[in-house]
Structure 1
């Protein structure tokens, strides 16, 4: 299966970004011209992976080719891609099956999911659609982030509010790290739909509205989700710590529930 042109271009940009960040000594290579210690040449990736220079160059150029699983695995190994990065590259190459998150049509929140959010009581929780629109939340989350009920529905997107709402920047005690992780997770989850017009329009608008997002998007960072501790400046309770969890209802797999539970 040949990946669409937009995904081929993204695959090329992703591979190039990873190649340019590699430490040469980690691959047993001496410094390059002018003592450069970071970044491999295409020829070096070709030699280390056993993939022809022409074929690897075509990959980075976004050519209309169909790389095999073996080729992508070899390139992923040399570029030191983690599991999330490897899945991202395979998806862009048309080799990974589309997940339930690829169904952008699942944009409305079923009533029973809202009931679950409400049942979480004092634990802040909200639900995201595949494009990360905040489709529902409970009272505890609204107390933590009051703006969620105030901003226009078309702007009520988690990635957008993280990068454009000053209230979120003040709320997050670790904004630089959180924004970087969210961007990497978003990119990993939307790899199969990068040619979707609505998604592309959303990304372009956010690139225009946020210099930090524009810079981060150009880095092509990809990250898988892991539960972790989060620290917030709560409007009423002051500094609070939560564990960040992500759940997916089996009957609505395109929706993800984000829940914060107190650190004990």
Structure 2
């Protein structure tokens, strides 16, 4: 099993309220422009140049003043209440993940405490990862930093995580930049967008975490794929799903990716990969006999 410490902290200042206000405005506008007035049954007269809903329509649906909402969308620091944000979220048909994102951007304390930056796998986590063999398993942070992994996971991915620089020990980083990782993981087109949406949620929940800010800056500067997905302003929580891996020796393996938490919902999590069929289970048994990467 491989264990890593969390990325070393730096000391830049926490994200300023003005920056959060700008992000809140960008998110509201992107969400507003993604909606259809016709689909929502809103009557309109004359020619409409604005994509999606008008600001006036959002304000009316939320029961708030249009001037106040305009200031909010323009990124001004107007200090909205929780009730106002919840009303806007309903008007914009936001899901629970998007509502939590809006509340965090508005500087409103969530019911659930943010995880500590000092979260790290303990001895029980290490034992559990090894007990899960032959199933691949790893521990990761909310921002996809790889904190620990068992031997099956490294053999599946064909990468020795211990030999990677600290910056690269991150699932999103590997999916964006590592050719070996990209060859093994068979992603559907929306997979990276989902990961970026999860990363955005983590970056907002932990806006004072310098490690996340550092990763965000790196991704924005070096990945056009990431920038395109980031500009869509989507947020979501992790979800269990089925993934396909193309191992160079064993061929196609279908595994069910499952998330497990022993801390706050957006903190450190264990990810376990379970076989979908008997054939996939046999492939994992054969995987255990292969040499370590």
1:41 aligns to 2:54 (yes or no): yes
Match of 2:34 among 21, 24, 27: 21
Q: Which residue does the alignment assign to 2:121? A: 109
Cα RMSD (Å): 2.5
Summarize deviations over 1:55-92 as a string: whole Å, max 9, x none: 11121122222212221111111111111111111122
The whole-number CA distance in structure 2 between the counterparts of 1:208 and 1:57 is 30
Name whichever of 18-27 and 168-177 sits farther off.
168-177
Match of 1:210 among 219, 223, 227: 223
Offset of residue 169 of structure 1: 2.2
User: Is the helix fraction higher in 1 or 2?
Assistant: 1
Match of 2:169 among 136, 156, 165: 156
- Structure 1 segments of 4 or more deviating over 4 A? 30-38, 98-101, 250-253
> Unmatched 5+ residue regions in structure 2?
1-15, 278-293
The whole-number CA distance in structure 1 between the counterparts of 2:175 and 2:44 is 39
Match of 2:247 among 234, 238, 255: 234
SS at match of 1:114: helix
1:133 aligns to 2:127 (yes or no): no
Q: Report 1:169-208 matches (<5 A).
A: 169-208=182-221
Tell whether the 8 Å contact from 2:202 to 2:266 is kept in structure 1 after alignment.
no
1:62 aligns to 2:75 (yes or no): yes
Tell whether the 8 Å contact from 1:245 to 1:260 is kept in structure 2 after alignment.
yes
Q: What TM-score results when the alignment is normalised by the length of structure 2?
A: 0.80
Name whichever of 233-242 and 249-258 sits farther off.
249-258
SS at match of 2:258: strand
The verdict on how the C-alpha distance between 1:203 and 1:179 changes in structure 2, with shifts beyond 3 A counting, is same
Q: What TM-score results when the alignment is normalised by the length of structure 1?
A: 0.89
Match of 1:95 among 104, 108, 114: 108
SS at match of 2:190: helix
Structure having greater relative contact order (Cα 8 Å, sep ≥ 6) = 2
Tell whether the 8 Å contact from 1:23 to 1:37 is kept in structure 2 after alignment.
no
The verdict on how the C-alpha distance between 1:151 and 1:39 changes in structure 2, with shifts beyond 3 A counting, is same
Offset of residue 125 of structure 1: 0.7
> Unmatched 5+ residue regions in structure 1?
none
Summarize deviations over 1:87-131 as a string: whole Å, max 9, x none: 11112212242745542232x432321221111101111111243
The whole-number CA distance in structure 1 between the counterparts of 2:27 and 2:268 is 27
Match of 1:258 among 271, 275, 290: 271
Q: Which residue does the alignment assign to 1:121? A: 133
Offset of residue 197 of structure 1: 3.4
The whole-number CA distance in structure 2 between the counterparts of 1:67 and 1:255 is 30
Offset of residue 234 of structure 1: 2.2
Q: Which residue does the alignment assign to 2:258? A: 245
Larger radius of gyration: 2
Tell whether the 8 Å contact from 2:114 to 2:206 is kept in structure 1 after alignment.
no
The verdict on how the C-alpha distance between 1:146 and 1:34 changes in structure 2, with shifts beyond 3 A counting, is farther
Tell whether the 8 Å contact from 2:114 to 2:264 is kept in structure 1 after alignment.
no
